[in-house]
């Protein structure tokens, strides 16, 4: 039986993979939303203002602005992010946390993704990018 990609199969895949990540994050007392915000700060090409980082996390997670602000505050309180003038940046401890989580999840990710042909991954990537684009457009239309 062939499984057709739809919202349900996408959701099931997301939550299965997220469950693996959340297990590793819990060992560090970190939430998924905190990890997303910290990863955004670490991966930024240039330092971000608080508003820029909050906006990026909100856009990624479609999260409530107050919840995102609280997440940034938690990362600042834990000294995983630091204010440098008007900009937020990751601390060494923040970078180390992401590295530790990555080290823990890398072999699991390799087992999950291993053996999937490159052309299947490319096709899935194209479909998921299109679904994301369309869903973001529909969400934007709901808010106008």
CATH of the domain at 51: 1.10.10.10
Number of domains present in the structure of the chain? 1
SS3 (DSSP) at 67 = helix
Residue 81: inside a domain: yes
- What's the pLDDT at 143? 86
Give the range of the structural domain holding residue 99, as residue numbers without chain letter.
Answer: 19-106
Closest CA to 127 of 117, 137, 119: 119
139 within a domain of the structure (yes/no):
no
Instruction: Provide the pLDDT for residue 70.
Output: 97
Contact, 34 vs 71, CB < 8 A?
yes
Residue 38 has a pLDDT of 96
In a domain, 76, yes or no: yes
φ, ψ of residue 87 in degrees (nearest 5): -115, 150
Tell whether 10 is covered by a domain: no
Low-confidence ranges of the chain (pLDDT < 50): none
**Would you say residue 133 lies in a domain?**
no
pTM value is 0.88
In a domain, 85, yes or no: yes
Asked whether residue 143 is domain-assigned, the answer is no
The answer as to whether 4 is a domain residue is no
So what's the pLDDT on residue 2?
A: 81
Query: What is the pLDDT at residue 4?
Result: 87
């Amino acid at each position: 039986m062939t499984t057709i990609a739809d919202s349900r199969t996408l959701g099931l895949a997301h939550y299965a993979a997220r469950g693996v990540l959340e297990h590793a994050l819990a060992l560090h007392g970190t939430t998924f939303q905190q990890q997303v915000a910290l990863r955004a700060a670490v991966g930024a090409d240039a330092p971000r203002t608080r508003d820029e980082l909050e906006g990026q996390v909100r856009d990624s997670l479609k999260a409530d602005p107050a919840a995102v602000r609280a997440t940034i505050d938690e990362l600042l309180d834990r000294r995983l992010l630091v204010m440098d003038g008007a900009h937020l940046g990751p601390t060494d401890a923040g970078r180390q946390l992401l590295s530790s989580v990555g080290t823990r999840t890398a072999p699991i990710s390799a087992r999950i993704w291993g053996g999937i042909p490159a052309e299947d991954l490319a096709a899935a990537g194209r479909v998921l990018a299109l679904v994301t684009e369309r869903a973001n457009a529909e969400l934007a239309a709901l808010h106008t």
